[in-house]
Structure 1
């Protein structure tokens, strides 16, 4: 099993991995969850997949088992910033504006973690291991970018698996139904994992 953090600077070193990650996202979010998202060339993408982002892939022999996208909360492209903040600002009709208790942060040490998935094709027997790999890779990639906290919109059952993965999180928004289930904004403190 391999863990790779992709950026626009290193895509050329990883062959088809970037495209395979976006293909796996399409399978997870458009095919399995039936979310109405942009797609092209059998890949899911959106306006937040920019050179400022990083993508973490858990993969082996061309098969992508899981992935995440990390975006700085200081990012700005035209009218867009980052997904959670733009939802709060009313720019995204599919996510409620009242998803956070307070204003979305704009801070160099806070990154957003979105498009978290474990592929439907990932065998059940290795899913728990995949969750651990994705948590470890997320922490490592975030720390390498100087983040001390992450902001994520995740499934509302997050307390159950955060503890198993060694993550410290706290709810920073209400639980809400979006598309296919209940979701909640969570802040993940990285300061305890900085060694």
Structure 2
């Protein structure tokens, strides 16, 4: 199992991996979860997939097992910044409630957003924990390489049950909310203890 952090600057070094990551996202979010998201050429994407973001692929023998997108909270592309902030400002048409945070969404060079997190449904249950640990390891190191000391994420509301097991220190940033197919909550993940 390998982990690769992709950027627009290094895509050419990784063959089909970037496209395969977006194909795996389509499978996870559009096919499995039935979310109404943009797609083209069998790939899911949105307005936050810009050169400002980084994408983490957990892959093995050409198959993408899991993925994560990291976006700086200082990002700007047209009217958009990053998903949590844009939801709070009402730019997402209500697909994510505006009151998802207790305070204003941060805009800080050391805070990055973690989004489009998925694990392929084809991975047997007995391997999922290993994949989760790889994801956390890759997410933490990739974010730290970008200068992040904190990540924010809109994640499943069951996060307290598994974040600790994966070695993450986090706290809630907003209320638990039903969105699309489940309960979600915004969290802040502290990376300061992960500094090298």
TM range (shorter): over 0.9
- Give 1:56's aligned residue: 56
Q: Which residue of 2 aligns with 1:25?
A: 25
Return the offset for 1:166: 0.1
How far did 1:184 drift?
0.3
CA distance in 1, matches of 2:67, 2:32: 15
Partner in structure 1 of residue 116 of structure 2: 115
Partner-residue secondary structure (3-state), 1:130: helix
- For residues 137-165 of structure 1, give each alpha carbon's deviation from its aligned partner in whole angstroms, at most 9, with x where no partner exists: 00000000000000000000001110111
Gaps of at least 5 residues in structure 1 are none
Determine the structure 1 residue equivalent to 2:87. 87
What per-residue deviation string (whole Å, max 9, x for no partner) do you get for residues 26-52 of structure 1?
A: 000001111000000000000000000
What residue in structure 2 maps to residue 99 of structure 1? 100
Over the aligned positions, Cα root-mean-square deviation in angstroms equals 0.5
Structure 1: how far apart are the matches of 2:184 and 2:9?
32
What 5-or-longer segments of structure 2 have no aligned partner? none
1:102-145: CA deviation from partner (whole Å, max 9, x where unpaired): 00000000000000000111121110000000000000000000
**What is the total number of aligned residue pairs between the two structures?**
195
C-alpha distance in structure 2 between counterparts of 1:68 and 1:7, whole Å: 12
| 1:157 correspondence with 2:158 | yes
* Match in the other structure for 1:37: 37
Query: How do residues 67-82 of structure 1 correspond to structure 2 at under 5 angstroms?
Result: 67-82=67-82
> Match for residue 12 of structure 1?
12
TM, length-normalised to structure 2: 0.99
TM-score scaled by length of structure 1: 0.99
Question: How far 1:25 moved relative to its partner?
Answer: 0.3
